Structure 1
Amino acid sequence: MNRAFPRSFALLTALLALMASGLVIASTTPAGAQTAAHSVVPLLPRVSTSGDADGDTPGDATMYMRRLALTHDALRGAARQQAESALSRPKLAGEQTVCSQTLPLCVHYATTGVDAPAGAITPAVVLSTLEHIYATYKAAGYRMPESDGAMGGDSRTDIYLADVGRQGYYGYCAPEPRAGSTAHDTPAFCVLDNDFAPSEFGGRGTPISNLDVTAAHEFFHAVQFAYDATEDSWFMESTAVWVEDEVYTAINDNTQYLPYGPLGKPALSLDKNTTFGVYGGWIFFRWVTEHRPQAQGGLPTIIRSMWERAAATPGAPDAYSLQAIKGALKAAGLPIEKAFAQFAAANRNPAHTYSEGAANHYPLAKATKSYQVRSTGKRASGTARINHLAAATERFVPKGKRLKSKHTRLRLSLDMANKKLGPGAVVTVFLRNGATKVKTIKLSKTGKGAVTVPFSTKKVKRVELTMTNASTRMTCWVGGLFSCEGQPKDMHQVEKFSALARR
């Protein structure tokens, strides 16, 4: 993203994170006695699971390190020293290195102490995993992490194994901006937990499966930094969670985040930077790739197209997240207004609208309100206030003998925002035989539209009207929690609707 960081906000964020975490260097030795025989690993901010209703909690290590890396030059004195300590590469006890014979990758590990790899997590296993991930991303046409010069011993990308699990982390990657450079593409190094011990992470997954998805996720951050290390964190995290499931489709670790994204919180803006929400947002990119599955090297190309538009290197488009997504969708014949409305409607029936929805028990996005319609001629109406990149669904359920006739219909009328502001609407008829009929409602320039659908109690279980606000108008660089560190111009958009049963 081509812009100067809003220094006051970014600096305050970094300083608050430093103070809140009590950032120090974690060591196995007393102060003043650090030697090469002992590991020195940065102490990261503690993970919290007690955020607000949106899941707005601190604790993502990669985004924390990224923010610190991009702002620490503005710090002075003790704060600058603390930042540099936090951003330093781990110094491992009795450090050894194993490097790929074919790819620019090196794994660094301790040979003694708490950071030494243990159990199934051996340096050879980690290197093999990373070679597979590297080869997958390269075959798919992505940029690879940039050369770091002589950092870590040579120009290859370095991955360190350390006991970050005791701090609550699976791993992280940190960008390393070049001294004196204003470029937004940067090299990176990564840190992965040394054993992925169940005692640290509970019973979810095995050490190997946790290594697989963590390495795929974190290494994709290193790939992203080669495009633009200053890109919006929600876009970085959502696509990193998306890709881990593409590389290791049988693991499905990312389903744990679905309750925090559009499936669990349809009224929450897709691009709002909440800790768990940005993870849950991966489902949007899954929907997109299931509808535009054209692939290279086994990965759908449309997500790469988004990152190519977001690239900040000389001559690249340097679009911010939402602009890049909108451009890629349009080029694929899927305008964002249409895509987002269909996506939101699909989230009301995920077991049938996603390839893995039933097998992985995707949660059902909640309806806003339900209406029981018992007779013809009586109009039900209402108003929904919808946040940008969010949705509301109204349910209409036919009840009683008066609606048994096969000629019974439901007329839905809409008075939504001006079409320039991105409104969308989809009607879904759920039949008693388990089938569904889905129709996108055509809106006029002023946002008005109507549709008539079957509504007989004999055949119809319910009718749902899903309305969306796909506005992409932003006020950027104001320290906001949305795309371009901005504030959406069209929050709480008023959408009016009415429903009338008739024969």
Structure 2
Amino acid sequence: MRRRPATPLLLSATLVTLAATLALGSTPGAAAPGTQSAGTQSVGAQSSGARLSSTPAGAGTDPDEALAAARTALGLGDGAQSRGPGQPVGEGNEATMALRDLRVALPQLGAEQRREGEALLARPTDGGDDPVGQGYDSRSKKLCSGNVCVHYVTKGADRPDSQKWVRKTLQVMNKVWDFETGTLGYRKPVSDRSLPQGKNGGNGKFDVYLKELSGQRLYGYCAPEYLVKGNKRLANGYCVLDDDFAKAEYGRKPLDTLRVTAAHEFFHAIQFNYDYREDRWLLESTATWVEERFADDVNDNRQYLPVGQVRVPDEPLDIFSTTFGRHYGNWAWWEFLTQKYGGGIVRSVWKQAGQFKGAGRDYSTKALTKVLAAKGGFSRNYARFAAVNNNPAAFYPEGASWPSAARIANLKLSKDATRKSQATTVDHMSAQNVDVTPAAELKDKAWTLRLTLDGPAAATKPMAAVLVQNKKGAWDERLLEFNRKGRARLSVPFSARRVDAVTVSLVNTSTSFDCWEDQAYSCAGIADHDAAPFEVTAKVFKDK
């Protein structure tokens, strides 16, 4: 890939400036109906528009770190992971977020680093003499229909196995476009129609490039490119997908891998027309959620559930972790909301987080809490999410195939051990679970369990959920709010003949942050109420 031009071409959103002097002489170049058009600023240029949200430019994106991360994600430089002969791709690298961060950081890089950054962000068709070796090494062709063009080569390492696969990719991409922008109702990606033909794939259709990616441990990626004139938070994008998704490399039928990857990566292009600088956890968790909507039968996203809150409830919901991929596993949160309120709830959050006229212009978690305010509030919804993850089969349509939440302790009560306690700490937007079980000798129906819960002050938004599982497998669920002193109590039947276990979820629902501190949470912030102290005391007695 050759680098982008160092001199920006200053264009309005709908007028292409062709004057060599960049003096704003123009000819028409209208965007497609229903789409936003990218002003042709160079990859390194910033929009002159005013700041549109409470999120500062480049929050959480150190320029040098962003460049290094992009190198690594594309399989280049120190720390890069490559696939050896015969090895599967596995979890793969994370290129989309790395390239997004690089695009945000680009104006802050020095001249030499900026040239490299522009090369990393460039399209495969920008040249085989690309200094970082990511471009096609032969002349490309394209196949277009509907809203999409698929670009490919007919020789070399990036050549697809057949023309049939090119046609299949085009077909799937158009189905994804129709589903995500039509059925689900999301904004269309920013059009590149107003860009010069040498920079927009030859027309204003959405561009997808086929390339051999398995050696770089990549499924695909979508990169933000040019910014919309007057709005530095919206960008067009293009996507790169593997050229064949061979089962030997990716572990599934090629078409299945194509379907989920196309749905996921195209959703990033949609997100770029809401706010391409949005918090990483929201970008990735919702893109993984949309896989379930488009390709429900594939179930590829189940592989991430063991590292998300369904299994690991004590890691914050809004964490972005390149080490563990928690953000992928937390697509289950959006599935939970979808089952309760319908899929439009996710679109509502994105509109509240969007950076365009009529949108909310909030960062991720702030947008989420505003949308849920009319639906019982974030705290109650999140506490219920923590609760149902203790028994996913009882709530999620496919929950019988899901893992369940980890417990930190099992307090087994008997006639000789009638009282036990467990103390712990809980970070923001996370939970800890404690089981309480009756010994077999507690057969009398008069046996009762009294739970006394101590937590932080109510201002920090502690919650608890109590699930009583009977011997027949049914669950009774109760949500508890803590009083001003941080205490809650509940008594439930505890006969061993009727009760199998009582699970207590201690939940920290705080969404308060000190923002813009270069952290991996919402608004790149530091959570104000991490490590909140909780204690559950369980006492069994006979109710007279």
Q: Give yes or no for TM over 0.5.
A: yes
Q: Which residue of 2 aligns with 1:311?
A: 354
| Partner in structure 2 of residue 99 of structure 1 | 144
Q: Corresponding residue for 1:270? A: 317
Q: Distance in 1 between matches of 2:537 and 2:82?
A: 43
SS at match of 1:153: coil
Residues 441-500 of structure 1: CA deviation (Å, up to 9, x unaligned): 243233322111110011111111111001000011110110111110100001122111
Aligned to 1:213: 260
Tell me the distance in 2 between the aligned counterparts of 1:442 and 1:424.
5
State the Cα deviation string for residues 322-366 of structure 1 (Å, max 9, x = none): 0111112223x13111111111111111122211011xx211211
For 1:179 and 1:430, locate their aligned partners in 2 and report how far apart those are by CA, in whole Å: 54
Tell me what 2:303 maps to. 256
**SS at structure 1 position matched to 2:57:** coil
Say if 2:429 and 2:508, in contact at 8 Å, map to a contact too.
yes
Q: CA deviation at 1:131?
A: 1.1
Alignment of 1:273-288 (within 5 A): 273-275=320-322, 276-288=325-337
How far residue 178 of structure 1 moved from its aligned partner, in angstroms, is: 2.7
Contact 2:73 2:94 in 1 (8 A): no
Match of 2:439 in 1: 399
Deviation per CA, 1:136-178: give whole Å up to 9, x if none: 1122221010111331112221111111122111100001133
User: What is the SS of the residue equivalent to 1:118?
Assistant: coil
Structure 2 matches for 1:326-337, cutoff 5 A? 326-331=369-374, 333-337=375-379
Alpha-carbon offset, residue 78 of structure 1: 2.1
2:7 aligns to what? none
Q: Residue deviations 1:83-122, cap 9 Å, x none?
A: 111011002423111112xx33211111221112115962
Q: Which residue is equivalent to 2:188? A: 144
The farther-off stretch of 145-154 and 372-381 is 372-381
The gaps in structure 2 that reach 5 residues or longer are 1-52, 84-90, 126-135
Moved more, 58-67 or 488-497: 58-67
**In structure 2, do the counterparts of structure 1 residues 492 and 498 end up closer, same or farther at CA, with 3 Å as the change threshold?**
same
SS of the residue 2:215 aligns to: helix
Structure 2 Cα separation of the partners of residues 236 and 167 of structure 1: 22
Q: 2:246 aligns with which of 197, 219, 231?
A: 197
Deviations, residues 407-446 of structure 1 (Å, cap 9, x unaligned): 1110111222222212111111111111111111243233
Q: CA deviation at 1:14?
A: 1.6
Correspondence for 1:226 = 273
Give the structure 2 partner of residue 424 of structure 1: 463
Shift of 1:265: 1.4
What amino acid sits opposite 2:308 in the alignment? Answer: G
Question: Take 1:235 and 1:477, find their aligned partners in 2: how far apart are those partners?
Answer: 16
Matched, 1:160 2:209: yes
What amino acid is aligned across from residue 187 of structure 2 in structure 1?
Answer: R
Equivalent residue number for residue 46 of structure 2: none
Identify which range, 409-418 or 211-220, moves more after superposition.
409-418
CA displacement 1:267-306 (0-9 Å, x = unmatched):
111111102111011011111111112xxxxxx1000000
Q: Say if 1:7 and 1:354 are closer, same or farther in 2 by CA, change over 3 A.
A: closer
1:63 aligned to 97, 102, 108, which one?
Answer: 97
Q: Specify the SS of the correspondent of 1:502.
A: strand
- SS in structure 2 of the partner of residue 176 of structure 1: strand
What's the secondary structure of 1:5's corresponding residue? coil
Check whether the contact 1:368–1:394 (CA below 8 A) recurs between aligned residues. Answer: yes
1:175 alignment partner in structure 2: 224
Q: Which residue in the other structure is 1:375 paired with?
A: 415
CA contact (8 A) 1:45 1:61 kept: no
Taking the aligned partners of 1:7 and 1:310, their CA distance within structure 2 comes to 16
TM-score normalised according to structure 1 size: 0.87
| Equivalent position SS for 1:122 | helix
> Alignment identity in percent?
34
156, 163, 171: which one pairs with 1:128? 171
Question: What displacement does 1:400 show?
Answer: 3.8
CA contact (8 A) 1:6 1:479 kept: no
Contact 2:160 2:166 (8 Å CA) reproduced: yes
* Contact 1:48–1:59 under 8 Å retained in 2: no
Match of 2:154 among 108, 111, 114: 111
Aligned equivalents of 2:452, 2:68: Cα separation in 1? 50
Q: 1:241 to 1:121 in 2, by over 3 A?
A: farther
In 1, Cα distance between equivalents of 2:72 and 2:124? 22
Contact 1:63 1:233 in 2 (8 A): yes
How much does 1:224 deviate?
A: 0.4
- CA distance 1:47–1:144, change in 2 (3 Å): farther
Partner of 1:85: 119
SS at match of 2:115: helix
1:377, distance to aligned residue in structure 2 (A): 8.3
**Cα separation, 2, equivalents of 1:8 and 1:457:** 52
Deviation at 1:264, TM superposition (A): 2.4
SS of residue paired to 2:468 = strand
1:448 aligns with 2:487: yes
Letter in 1 for 2:488: G
- Name the amino acid aligned to 1:338: R
Counterpart of 2:288 in structure 1 is: 241
Aligned to 2:397, the other structure's residue is in SS state coil
Q: Distance in 1 between matches of 2:110 and 2:181?
A: 40
Q: Identify if the C-alpha distance between structure 1 residues 63 and 18 changes in structure 2 by more than 3 Å, giving closer, same or farther.
A: closer
